[in-house]
Amino acid sequence: MLSLAVDQLSKTYPNGTVALNRVSFRAHPGEGIVLLGANGSGKSTLLRCMVGLEKPSSGSIRVGDAWIETANANQLRLLRRQIGIVFQRFNLVSSLSTFHNVLQGALGRSKGPRYWFPATAPQRERERVMQCLERVNLAHLAQQRVDTLSGGQQQRVAIARMLMQDPSLLLVDEPVASLDPKSGREAMDLLWDIVRERQLTVICTLHQLDLAKDYADRIIGLRHGAIQIDAPAHQLTDHELSWLYESSTLDTIETPT
């Protein structure tokens, strides 16, 4: 459980695209927030700023009692250990085994070459990897190369890697975008079970309004990089939510890069 405060956060990319415009919100420990918004509304940029993969143009992000945007390289590493992120495209190392990919979740907390290879990792960590894989029902595929798995399975490997990392704050970027409806539900169930049993604070971007309403405690709606909706999930109507997507394709014509 980790608190998070985003204050007046703006991000303008070097090519002039304004991705975030004075975004402010506070996530309470243990809260489940779903981030909605049309393509290009800045959801991924917001998540990337929170782990320091993108540098904000202005504003601040506080995680626990540290500030991301002013942290030096070492402090940033310490902060990142506590923040898990599951990417839309999984971002696994495709030429390595499932086991090896999950083991890499420990790279943040453990220095030293022992953790680089499954063969040299301490027995305790090897057992933890198997526990994480069992949690996502993939223990039987531990030795398989990860690029031979299906999309849904790769998503679960990414979740197992996150379990191995053992974060207090979890960021999830479109976890179901490349999954079929049934696998999508399963992935969301798995994620939310983990979130609840570990009492994680979670921010999850989604494109499915029904999923958003089923899982979120609170929904934040982004439009053109600014927060337009921020309310408990049960108070929001479909009409209010669909407004986020209206005519946004007309005025956010993507500039070719």
Ligand X SMILES: Nc1ncnc2c1ncn2[C@@H]1O[C@H](COP(=O)(O)OP(=O)(O)OP(=O)(O)O)[C@@H](O)[C@H]1O
Q: Restricting to residues 120-159, which ones interact with ligand X according to CB under 6 A? A: none
Per-residue binding string, other proteins, 162-181, x by CB under 8 A, is ---x----------------
Interface with Mg ion (CB under 5 A), residue total 1
Per-residue binding string, other proteins, 137-156, x by CB under 8 A, is --------------------
Per-residue binding string, Mg ion, 33-72, x by CB under 5 A, is -----------x----------------------------
Q: How far is the CB of 242 from other proteins (least distance, A)?
A: 31
CA atoms within 13 Å, Cβ hemisphere of 71? 25
Work out which of 19, 158, 163, 202 binds ligand X, going by CB under 6 A.
19
Residue 130, classified by CB atoms within 10 Å of its CB into exposed (0-12), middle (13-18) or buried (19+), is middle
Closer CB to other proteins, 143 or 242, in the complex: 143
Q: How far is the CB of 167 from Mg ion (least distance, A)?
A: 20
Work out which of 96, 130, 209, 233 binds other proteins, going by CB under 8 A.
96
Q: How far is the CB of 19 from ligand X (least distance, A)?
A: 4
- Separation CA 151–CA 157 (nearest Å): 10
Choose the contact partner of 224 out of ligand X, Mg ion, other proteins, none; CB within 5 to 8 A by kind.
none
Choose the contact partner of 109 out of ligand X, Mg ion, other proteins, none; CB within 5 to 8 A by kind.
other proteins
Q: How far is the CB of 91 from Mg ion (least distance, A)?
A: 13
Choose the contact partner of 206 out of other proteins, Mg ion, ligand X, none; CB within 5 to 8 A by kind.
none
Instruction: Report which of 91, 98, 118, 96 is spatially closest to residue 107, judged by C-alpha positions.
Output: 118
Stretch near other proteins under the rule CB under 8 A, chosen from 7-15, 29-37, 109-117, 249-257: 109-117
Assign 253 to helix, strand or coil.
Answer: coil
- Separation CA 215–CA 204 (nearest Å): 10
CA atoms within 13 Å, Cβ hemisphere of 28? 4
Interior/surface letters 16-43, b for 16+ CB within 10 angstroms, e for the rest: ebebbbebebebeebbbbbbbbbebbbb
Paired residues of 97 in beta bridges: 145
Work out which of 42, 56, 108, 175 binds other proteins, going by CB under 8 A.
108
Instruction: Report which of 229, 226, 223, 232 is spatially closest to residue 252, judged by C-alpha positions.
Output: 223
Choose the contact partner of 108 out of ligand X, Mg ion, other proteins, none; CB within 5 to 8 A by kind.
other proteins
Instruction: Report which of 95, 90, 89, 102 is spatially closest to residue 147, judged by C-alpha positions.
Output: 95
Residue 65, classified by CB atoms within 10 Å of its CB into exposed (0-12), middle (13-18) or buried (19+), is exposed
Site residues (CB under 6 A) for ligand X? 13, 15, 17, 19, 37, 39-45, 254
